[in-house]
Amino acid sequence: MTPAATAGTAHAERFSYPASAMAGDYLRAAAGLVPTLLILATVSVGEVAGIVLGGFAAIFGTFAVRTALRHTTTLEMGGGELRALGLRGAALRWCELDRVKLAFYSTRRDRKSGWMQLELGAGRTRLSLDSRLDGFDAVVRHAVAAAADRDLQLSEATAANLQALGIRMPERRLS
């Protein structure tokens, strides 16, 4: 490792998804996958039912794998970039940032409960993280600063979600 690379990682901040935040997703995946597989393994079902149940098993299995990948990924912010460390690693350089989208997904009609998802892009590199990440606000703040440095246009929805987090973007940067 070069001295510059060592210096960049010496002050890097690391963020991860805590097990407590991921437990619900693991339980949802198991609640769908286990009964579906048990039915397929123990009951003689027709072709159509087998296809339907197999589809459900594939959906819940995919969700379980995505949950595990997210849970085992660590994000490292420093040295001018945001790096996802894990099986699906990626590095997004802040000086190349070309997309910032912050979306809120409500779990209730009153919109008082839900989660936020941050989507970042730099060229072909894309990173998506949600508000269960320890340090989510710090990453969002850094992304907004990088977007301001790059004079990126942000949507009204992103600006409203930033405001909900207590982060303001200059008016001229809204599209």
Distance CA(51)–CA(53), nearest Å, equals 6
* All residues at 6 or more sequence positions from 54 whose CB lies less than 8 Å from its CB, including other chains: 40
Distance CA(151)–CA(39), nearest Å, equals 55
Query: Is 172 a residue whose pLDDT tops 70?
Result: no
Mean pLDDT of 109-113: 71
Contact 89, 74 (CB under 8 A): no
Per cent of the chain over pLDDT 90 is 75
Rounded to the nearest 10°, the torsion over CA 2, 70, 88, 122 is -70
Q: How high is the pLDDT of residue 25?
A: 92
Q: How high is the pLDDT of residue 173?
A: 47
Contact 146, 140 (CB under 8 A): no
Mean pLDDT of 97-111: 87
Distance CA(74)–CA(15), nearest Å, equals 6
Give pLDDT tens digits for 6-25. 444 457 899 999 999 999 99
Q: How high is the pLDDT of residue 104?
A: 95
Q: How high is the pLDDT of residue 7?
A: 42
Give pLDDT tens digits for 129-166. 999 999 999 999 999 999 999 999 899 999 999 998 99
SS3 of the chain: the string is CCHHHHHHHHCCEEEECCHHHHHHHHHHHHHHHHHHHHHHHHCCCCHHHHHHHHHHHHHHHHHHHHHHHHHHCEEEEECCEEEEECCCCEEEEHHHCCEEEEEEEECCCCCCCEEEEEEEEECCEEEEEECCCCCHHHHHHHHHHHHHHCCCCECHHHHHHHHHCCCCCCHHHEC
Between 6 and 46, residue with greater pLDDT: 46
